[in-house]
Amino acid sequence: MGTRPEIVKLAGVARRLGPQARIVWTGQHWDAGLTTCFFDQYGLPRPDHLLKGVGGEARGRQIGRMVATLSDHFTERPPAAVVVQGDTNTAAAGALGAHCAGIPVVHVEAGLRSFDNEMPEETNRRLIAPVADLHCAPTPTAAAHLLREGVEAGRVLVTGNTVVEATLETLPTESDARGVLARYRVARDAYVLATVHRPENTDDPARLAQLLDQLAALDLPVLMPLHPRTRSAVDRFGLRHSIVRLRQIPPLDHATFLALARHCRLLVSDSGGVQEECTVLKRPLIVVRNSTERPEAVRAGFARLAQPGHQLARALREMLDDATLAGRLAQVPSPYGDGSASADIVAAIRARYLGREQAFGPQLPAPGQAADRDRAVTARHP
């Protein structure tokens, strides 16, 4: 792991593996507000091994340093398998480092494709695929991509996405959610929640300014948890006059973000994870990007792709004016599964790499009120 989404999406896998899991932290995300609080929230132990000097480096140097350090670590302390998640620099480096050390790679959330080579994550995903031994695809669409690329069918397992159980486990109660809304001075269904952090938005001053101006022009209040990259871009490009009209708030822990997302009128984001979470929360989302590797959310009606400018203006107008949208989405099942992905992935890991005699090792309980729901999911997959 090395980023906030990886903590969220691998927590269920790590807890079910219990003491059989060794957590290696690369430090790709180095801001404590984006990372370390999530270990506590998900009931995970502190990492067994930490890399240093990775956070803030340019992509090439970051990946190179991680591959070298991880391959040495896996050689010195070889695990039965290395589990990587998604498409981050950490995931690519973890897979390559394991491959160099002769360790099997399990890729969680395998097979996503945007077919947009300008997206760094697309390169990372395609780097992992040839070296992965087991591909845990979240949807049949993702599995089909892998099969078309020549991956053997026996190495592809459709599991659903671990974000479903992570969202269900972490979502606050209605009583707690009311407290969150009161703290941020917003009313249910009467605000927009926006997150922006991807380079295609933050590295282009004209695009970022247009995006912020379009959000600021809305009649509803717009809450924006400010990512460090976005904050830096606003300062660098002199866009304080644009962002000052939005309600800027610090980065949020996952539970608080989910409470706000669950009760907003509309989500606007360039995040990959939010495209999945919105299908569990049943909230509409505008994806402010050039392309997406998660077409399932778009096809199901939860998400709409729009670039800043005319596309975004039209999407904002049409989705905010659609009085029946929320009601329709409430009836649509998530295309990312039923919340059993982590259990299925761990069952496959144990069967393939740990042997039958270890198939029922102890697991760490989910934190707080999530424990009962976590056990219920596990009970369906003994």
Quote the CA–CA distance of 56 and 376 in Å, as a whole number: 40
Quote the CA–CA distance of 315 and 284 in Å, as a whole number: 11
Quote the CA–CA distance of 164 and 181 in Å, as a whole number: 23
- The whole-number pLDDT of residue 360 equals 41
- The whole-number pLDDT of residue 55 equals 78
Please list the residues that pair with 267 across neighbouring strands.
193, 285
Domains in the chain, please, with CATH?
4-162+339-379 (3.40.50.2000), 172-329 (3.40.50.2000)
CB 260 within 8 A of CB 252: yes
Active site residue 197: yes
Q: Which residues 6+ apart lie within 8 Å of 262 measured at CB?
A: 171, 177, 281, 283
| CA-to-CA separations, 79 to 10, 22, 74, in angstroms, rounded | 17, 8, 7
**Phi, psi of 303, deg, nearest 5:** -120, 155
Q: Which residue in 29, 99, 197, 227 is the catalytic one?
A: 197
- The whole-number pLDDT of residue 225 equals 95
- The whole-number pLDDT of residue 4 equals 87
- The whole-number pLDDT of residue 381 equals 29
> Each residue's pLDDT tens digit in the chain (382 positions)?
999 899 999 999 999 999 999 999 998 876 665 566 678 888 888 888 888 878 778 889 999 999 999 999 999 999 999 999 999 999 999 999 999 999 999 999 999 999 999 999 999 999 999 999 999 999 999 999 999 999 999 999 999 999 999 999 999 999 999 999 999 999 999 999 999 999 999 999 999 999 999 999 999 999 999 988 899 999 999 999 889 999 999 989 889 999 999 999 999 999 999 999 999 999 999 999 999 999 999 999 999 999 999 999 999 999 999 999 999 999 999 999 999 999 999 999 999 999 854 444 445 555 443 333 333 333 332 2
- The whole-number pLDDT of residue 162 equals 98
